Structure 1
Amino acid sequence: MATPVLVLFTQDLRLHDHPALTTALRSAGPVVPLFVLDPVLLRRAARNRLAYLAEALADLRAGLRDLGGDLVLRRGDTVTETLGLAQEIGACTVHLGAGVSRFAERRLAGLRAAGPAVHVHPGVTVVPAGGITPAGGDHYKVFTPYWRAWEKARWREVLPVPERMELPDGIAPGDLPTSDDLVRGGVGSLAPERRVGGWTRARERLRNWIDQGLADYGDRHDDLSGAATSHLSADLRFGCLSALEVARATRDLPGGDEYVRQLAWRDFHYQVTAAFPDINVRDYRPRDRPWRRDPDALAAWKEGRTGVPIVDAGMRQLLREGFMHNRTRMITASFLTRTLMVHWREGGAHFDAHLVDGDVANDFGNWQWVAGTGNDTRPGRGFNPTRQARRFDPEGTYVRRYVAELAGLPGARVHTPWLEEDGEGAEGYPPPIADPGRG
């Protein structure tokens, strides 16, 4: 019998357009798909992401079994468990997708140091990190020139779902983790209205987005009350959808050019993180800002009780859904870092503890962009929350959806409850903890 080949699944929990799996299946031997539940990652992950992960793994196993194969699950150190399974089945080759985090860097180094042939494949982005570079540099530091190069880059073809595969006899697949099992060791709270994970649901969401939302994206993506964005970020973060397939499916459709630009922003942060993997702990561009320690203000911000309605609506959406509209992410981040002068690491850690779509590259890359320590060419840029609210939630619908205390205030009055007389619809809502017109 030909030698088995291992495929280590990481941020690519799908069957469509899976370069590592497709390449492995071209070998003569049977293919063994593996996912390792590594406690280093699990114990610091958001409960919302862990619940999504459990659902995505169950969906992936079901899909692999439909093809005649299976998903092997192991618990422990990723390198140790991968090498142990390789030795058990006599595999000399490991295929996996590329990553950009410190963990991915150490994982790859550990696998390569142990001796098997390790093949790294694209898949987490449209254009691989490092696939395009500026003259004289290892990565682009500013988005606009990156975008110009990204548009001209040659994209690989989308790969089909495998037709058939078979797991060798004698391998114990391992038990699927339940959501309860995984979330027990996570951080943050479990959002009651979060989206359910898995590649089949992700593909259904993609089809619905293309059919019902994409055409209006250019005009409505900042419309807070309309929630007119794709809501595919978690599916992309876990690789339940291929970013390349999404880009190819949308770029030539009405609204597609604006939407694909957002996928380029995602790629941009990945290539920055590949070059600067400390992006979640250290300033990309040090500014020597006089950050304040203010536990009370930070707690009010986290709980959505700052007294600034658009900020509180965003923070409550995060707790309710494990998601926040991108415009509100910028508003809330700016309020914390620019108005309250609290360090971006505090805000980034809170987002990371609750976002289903949170990852190192995009979560912290965007936090540093807003804080002025990252890749924004205008580091003094701020977001005045009252002005932003009036522009992107002119009727106050978004705020009333999430801030129940203000549900009785009509129209744009909901954005300035501090101007209301006593008994006029803002009872129980706190006064602003900082100037709501700053930013």
Structure 2
Amino acid sequence: MNLSDDISKIKEEYQKFKNSKKLLDLTRGRPSSEQLDLSDNLETVMKGDFIQDKVDTRNYGLLEGLPSARKLAGWVLNADPKNILVNGTSSLTLLGHYLHSMIFHGDGQVAWKDLDKVTFLCPVPGYDRHFAMLEKLGIKMIPVPLEGDGPDLDSIENLLETDESIKGMICVPKHSNPTGEIFSREKIEALASINKDGFKIILDNAYAVHDFDDSKKLPDIEKIFIDKNSHDSLIMLGSTSKISLAGSGLAFISLSPKNMENFVNYFSKFSLGSDKVNQARHTRIFNSKKALTEHMQKLAKIIKPKFDLVQEKLHELPDGLAKWTKPTGGYFVSFDSLNGNASKIHKLCEEAGLKLTPLGATFPYGKDLENKNIRIAPTQVELKELSDAMDLFCICVLLAEES
């Protein structure tokens, strides 16, 4: 396909896609089967030996997780293992438990349920599942722009000065979903310097070790918050879902000693321990920082060609129609229609068999007021399928401009 062709030829290409009835899917940031194959040894690594860290992993106990699992999580989050709880397979589930603990229990102050209103700041575009959870819990959301190296600090400062109901902020600090940006030291230090009692900064560090190209280094977040005497403001989450097996990995949360005590007091009423067998599997495979790094390099070799292909296809678009991010890691490309054509593009794609993330999903309440953002998730599909999907996507961008 040549995007310099006249519009009649572009329409012909579009009709060919429709007639083919081929179904293409770029909706979610899922690992490909090739990526998952790299962790098949998790199934055999135990070899009947269930003792790990001098613990029989088959039994109850160790709510906070095996010491070796907390150490692994510490490598991922760049945090002190003593401040980490490893439990379950989903960081979203741990996030939900943490928010529930604040709603019903608080952290030594008033429980959020006893307040008239609780509001969160949400840097945008952001992660749709964060927004869906906050909305389900009745927490009001206020969007704050991302600036390429983190959120707009002036907007945050102004909102905090004028709205007492704001109790927290949630975002992804490295290879942010969907923009791919990495928060700068300046932004992290400014966030750590926010002097608002009870304000929680929830950093879902889902892509902490997920570089596929040369990347800026994420500052040492935990150390910065400790140095600013604001460790109680910091909540960090992560998992191995996009390191080992999606949905069958390890989930973890990093908290200050005070926050950990409060959270465990709540969480212990819902769990008798953690899945230590699964933790042992992971810690035997990822038994050193070197082993973890080498595994991530293998994943990067699978992922990078897909992101290179997306960039190649998008660069064929004429100037002035759109802008998009060029991430160096993570799972997404954020595409902005400069003329507010996102809904047209999305509809054209859908009608021709290309499924995309729901329109507006990257904003609270699904409201993209500028009608511009579309999230592209290229990781799960094979290269040939991705090439077809991006050809169709670019055709739809051109047709949306004409309609």
TM-score, structure 1 as length reference: 0.26
TM-score, structure 2 as length reference: 0.28
> Which of the two has greater strand per residue?
2
Higher RCO, Cα 8 Å, sep 6+: 2
